[in-house]
């Protein structure tokens, strides 16, 4: 390789690594494995070592990836929050130990710990009270996610016991257990949203939600593993034992080792036993235990020299690809699914695996009859990661062709801009989509009617139901024509329909409609923001984007849904059936703030979530940004200067907390926080 070629390759690798870093940290949607990323990074480092004149301060070899998002306030880390040097080789762990032994004059031990597959967090406790939680960010500053961290049940808001420093940071990982991950992905599937690929992505995305109540509902947990700075401890393990005594969630899977043989034994044990844990791990971390030794070894610009991460290789099996099915989802997305010769993988028998989309099939250059490598993404979702070309039959030319028309209704497929999936646009005429929407409508989290797939299949096959509104015109005579239905079955079904119509609140009815991208949380936000279906239906895209956590994609989807005449007719029929399309006044509430849109900014005596609840309870709407539609800017201490400037420019009235509370009935305000130390800085 010439010098010029090396320069071109270095620039290509840098661009590719930064893009994959963005996808990993910001989008939570990685497209390559950790192993592939690490190998690419090693190649970059090797080339930069050969040609150091091309090494720049902004190279991925010199800086950690960043998860910073503009929606959050950033604060500096007291100590840089670095990443770890990764290795997949015991030999490189031996090299790490040899370097330490060569540098250190005194003996030392190793603290071996699990490497948790989540998203990094740094917690700051002051006088025993949690005052701030920051993400890794770019290692120098991090996003303030304190309001979300407060909702994670095993993070204590106040420490117990005694002996904790007056002001200290403790770092660790936010994890999503498998049970929470499965539940979340079921909800996303019901809402027609793309499921998270693995628990790490789900944990990272959940920690960055703007709605802290929803973040708290996601079932996240925390585990902590490092206290930076000098606080009188002599070893890393002593510091963590102390943290555990203060009620902090420290892992009990740690072990002190004294030799490479003991380290290897620990790694081999957890390479197998990790499959029994309720959360994802992707390796082991080996740290020099003595803090004086850590200080002597120091840091590089990116890594501590006193720690290394050994990463497990993903379990992969080889099996034969028998055929490919193309499945149509409720939203019309067509997904290729590989049918495989049954094979045991991570303790379960795998017969099917996703191929994701047409681009992935083309990238793999896959053939029917190929022998394929199958892994479980994040130990969960089986996926095909490669082809064993040496086992491909000579002259094999059976290249699968992604369908050009819907495999169910024959409508030409379309591919929306910036999306990888192909869709059937015939949402109101495609049998699979129609039945899927009705099943969704009847579901437990929607209208909660006693019925399932089999019932919907029968109703559709008999021609009795084509839309959800048709359910409410069914007669006993029609239902008695269904296979296996008797008078008691008919009565139970009709009673269930009637009860759901009478008792299901607007937000669940809105979710039941099956608007693309509108899940349970989004439906709740839209219902509370607009108050009734007619106001929502008349909203412009700009007004929809004014709702917290509603971006361009969701706003466009909702706007277009309400511009389809068939959908407006459907709502009219459902209204006639008695379904609720207006927010009921909450207990103890009223319409005092009806028609008023309020933006919140600054510090208050109560949390911002409490203020939002008060606004919604009394009929108002909460918005995240000041616009011409804003009635009041509710400004506390340190209110955002940009919001204040825009309010003045637009003539929006600025009110303080006392004025806001005076608008509400006496006794409405919740109790103020017990300590100002617990206040969250909100902008």
pLDDT, one tens digit per residue, over 4-20 is 778 878 888 887 887 77
pLDDT at 549: 65
How far is the C-alpha of 532 from the C-alpha of 583, rounded, in Å? 6
Can you identify the CATH homologous superfamily of domain 431-576? 5' to 3' exonuclease, C-terminal subdomain (1.10.150.20)
Q: What is the DSSP letter of 158?
A: B
- Residue 679, pLDDT > 50, answer no
Residue 37 has what pLDDT?
A: 74
Instruction: Please report the pLDDT score of residue 33 as a whole number.
Output: 66
Q: What is the pLDDT of residue 209?
A: 87
Whether the model clears a pTM of 0.75, i.e. scores above it, the answer is: no
Q: Looking at 141-150, 450-459, 578-587, which range is the least confident one?
A: 578-587
CB 292 within 8 A of CB 147: no
CATH superfamily of 3-54: Helix hairpin bin (1.10.287.610)
Whole-number Å distance between alpha carbons of 229 and 74: 21
Asked if 158 and 125 count as a contact pair (C-beta separation under 8 A), the reply is: no
DSSP tag of 466: S
| pLDDT over threshold 90, residue 166 | yes
Query: pLDDT: is 41 or 323 the higher one?
Result: 323
The residue with tokens 């040899």 is 98
pLDDT at 586 over 60: no
Average pLDDT over residues 613-621: 78
Find out whether 643 and 601 touch, Cβ atoms under 8 Å: yes
Instruction: Write the CATH number of the domain with boundaries 597-678.
Output: 3.40.50.10190
**pLDDT of 529 strictly over 60:** yes
Is 550 within 8 Å of 560 (Cβ atoms)? no
CA-based nearest residue to 592, from 609, 615, 562: 615
Averaged over 477-491, what is the pLDDT? 91
pLDDT of 346 reads 63
Check if the beta carbon of residue 305 is closer than 8 Å to that of residue 283: no
Tokens of residue 75, six digits? 């604060």
- Give me 269's structure tokens: 């044990």
Find the mean pLDDT for residues 52-76.
75
Residue 293's H or E segment, with its range, is helix 291-297
Per-residue pLDDT tens digits for 411-464? 999 987 767 789 999 988 999 999 999 999 998 888 989 887 889 999 999 999
Task: Give the distance, in angstroms, between the CA of residue 609 and the centroid of all CA atoms in the same chain.
Answer: 20
Per residue in 246-299, pLDDT (tens digit) is 999 999 999 999 999 999 999 999 988 888 888 888 899 999 999 999 999 998
Helix (H, G, I), strand (E, B) or coil at 467: coil
What is the pLDDT, as a whole number, of residue 302? 73
Token pair for 241: 């034992």
Taking the mean position of all CA atoms in its chain, how far away is CA 164? 33
Q: Is the pLDDT of residue 390 over 90?
A: no
Name the pairing type of β-strands 307-311 and 86-87: parallel
Residue 260, SS3? helix
- CA–CA separation, 460 vs 467, rounded Å? 10
Cα dist. 495→137, 439, 473 in Å? 53, 18, 13
Determine whether 421 is an active site residue. Answer: no
Q: Contact, 81 vs 136, CB < 8 A?
A: yes
Structure confidence at residue 300 (pLDDT): 81
pLDDT, mean of residues 670-681: 35
Q: Which helix (H) or strand (E) holds 634?
A: strand 632-635
pLDDT at position 347 is 55
Residue 200 structure tokens: 């790490």
Cα 45 from chain centroid (whole Å) = 31
Return the top range by mean pLDDT from 25-39, 86-100, 374-388, 545-559: 86-100
DSSP string, 235-246: BHHHHHHHHHHT
How far apart are alpha carbons 288 and 126 in whole angstroms? 28
Residue 142 confidence (pLDDT) above 70: yes
> How many beta carbons lie within 10 A of that of residue 242, not counting itself?
19
Q: Considering all CA atoms of the chain, what is the largest pairwise distance in Å, rounded to the nearest integer?
A: 90
Spatial CB neighbours of 369, under 8 Å, sequence gap ≥ 6: 320, 321, 392, 393, 396, 398
Active-site residue identified among 42, 63, 70, 115: 115
Lowest mean pLDDT among 89-103, 208-222, 386-400: 386-400
Q: Could you report the per-residue pLDDT of 629-668, keeping only the tens digit for each? A: 899 999 998 888 888 888 888 889 999 998 898 888 766 6
Cβ 434 vs Cβ 426: under 8 Å: no
Highest mean pLDDT among 25-29, 147-151, 622-626: 147-151
CA atoms within 13 A on the CB side of 465: 26
- pLDDT tens digit string along 167-216? 999 999 999 998 898 888 888 776 666 677 778 888 988 998 888 888 88
Where in the chain are the domains?
3-54, 74-311, 316-391, 431-576, 597-678
Domain 316-391 has CATH 3.40.50.150: no
Contacts of 603 (CB under 8 A, 6+ apart): 636, 637, 638, 679, 680, 681, 682
Q: What is the DSSP letter of 59?
A: S
Q: H/E element holding 432?
A: helix 431-442
Q: What is the CATH number of domain 74-311?
A: 3.30.470.30
Report d(CA 326, CA 358) in Å as an integer.
11
């Amino acid at each position: 390789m010439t010098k010029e070629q090396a320069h071109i390759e270095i620039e290509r690798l840098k661009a590719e690594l930064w893009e994959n870093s963005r996808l990993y940290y910001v989008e939570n949607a990685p497209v390559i494995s950790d192993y592939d990323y690490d190998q690419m990074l090693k190649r970059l480092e090797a080339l930069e070592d050969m040609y150091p004149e091309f090494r720049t301060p902004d190279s991925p070899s010199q800086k950690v990836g960043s998860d910073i998002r503009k929606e959050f306030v950033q604060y500096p880390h007291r100590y840089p929050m670095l990443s770890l040097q990764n290795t997949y080789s015991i030999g490189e762990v031996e090299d790490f130990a040899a370097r330490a032994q060569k540098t250190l004059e005194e003996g030392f031990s190793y603290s071996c710990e699990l490497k948790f597959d989540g998203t990094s967090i740094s917690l700051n406790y002051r006088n025993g009270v949690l005052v701030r939680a920051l993400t890794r960010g770019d290692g120098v500053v991090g996003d303030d996610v304190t309001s979300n961290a407060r909702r994670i049940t095993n993070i204590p808001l106040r420490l117990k016991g005694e002996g904790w420093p007056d002001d200290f940071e403790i770092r660790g990982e936010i994890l999503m257990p498998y049970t929470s991950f499965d539940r979340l992905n079921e909800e996303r599937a019901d809402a027609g949203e793309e499921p998270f690929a693995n628990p790490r992505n789900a944990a990272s995305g959940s920690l960055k939600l703007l709605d802290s109540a929803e973040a708290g509902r996601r079932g996240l947990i925390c585990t902590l593993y490092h206290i930076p700075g000098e606080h009188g401890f002599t070893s890393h393990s002593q510091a963590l034992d102390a943290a555990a005594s203060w009620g902090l969630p420290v892992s009990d899977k740690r072990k002190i080792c004294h030799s490479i043989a003991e380290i290897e034994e620990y790694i081999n044990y957890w390479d197998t036993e990790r499959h029994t844990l309720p959360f994802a791990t992707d390796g082991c971390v080996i740290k020099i235990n003595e803090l004086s030794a850590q200080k002597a070894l120091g840091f590089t610009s990116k890594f501590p020299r006193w720690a290394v991460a050994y990463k497990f290789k993903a379990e992969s099996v080889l099996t034969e690809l028998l055929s490919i099915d193309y499945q149509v989802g409720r939203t019309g997305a067509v997904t290729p699914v590989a049918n495989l010769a049954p094979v045991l993988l991570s303790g379960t028998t795998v017969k099917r695996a996703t191929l994701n989309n047409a681009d992935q099939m083309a990238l793999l250059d896959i053939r029917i009859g190929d022998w394929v490598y199958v892994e479980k993404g994040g130990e969960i979702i089986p996926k095909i990661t490669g082809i064993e070309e040496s086992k491909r039959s000579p002259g094999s030319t059976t290249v699968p062709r992604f369908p050009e028309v819907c495999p169910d209704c024959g409508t030409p497929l379309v591919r929306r801009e910036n999306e990888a999936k192909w869709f059937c646009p015939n949402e109101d005429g495609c049998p699979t989509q129609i039945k899927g929407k009705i099943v969704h409508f009847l579901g437990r989290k929607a209208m909660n009617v006693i019925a399932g797939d089999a019932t919907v299949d029968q109703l559709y096959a008999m021609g009795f139901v084509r839309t959800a509104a048709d359910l409410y015109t069914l007669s006993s005579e029609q239902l008695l024509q269904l296979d296996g239905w008797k008078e008691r079955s008919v009565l139970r079904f009709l009673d269930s329909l009637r009860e759901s119509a009478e008792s299901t609140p607007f937000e669940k009815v809105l979710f039941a409609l099956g608007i693309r991208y509108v899940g349970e949380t989004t439906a709740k936000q839209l219902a509370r923001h607009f108050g009734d279906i007619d106001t929502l239906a008349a909203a412009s895209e700009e007004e929809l984007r004014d709702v917290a956590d509603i971006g361009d994609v969701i706003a466009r989807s909702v706007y277009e849904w309400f511009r389809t005449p068939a959908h407006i007719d459907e709502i009219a029929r459902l209204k006639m059936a008695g379904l609720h399309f207006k927010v009921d006044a909450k207990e103890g509430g009223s319409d005092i703030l009806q028609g008023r849109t309020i933006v919140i900014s600054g510090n208050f005596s109560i949390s911002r979530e409490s203020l939002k609840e008060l606004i919604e309870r009394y009929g108002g709407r909460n918005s995240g940004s000041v616009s011409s539609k804003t009635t009041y800017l509710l400004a506390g201490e340190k209110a955002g200067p940009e919001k204040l400037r825009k309010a003045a420019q637009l003539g929006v009235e600025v009110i303080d907390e006392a004025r806001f509370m005076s608008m509400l009935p006496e006794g409405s305000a919740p109790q103020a926080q017990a300590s100002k130390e617990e206040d969250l800085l909100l902008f």
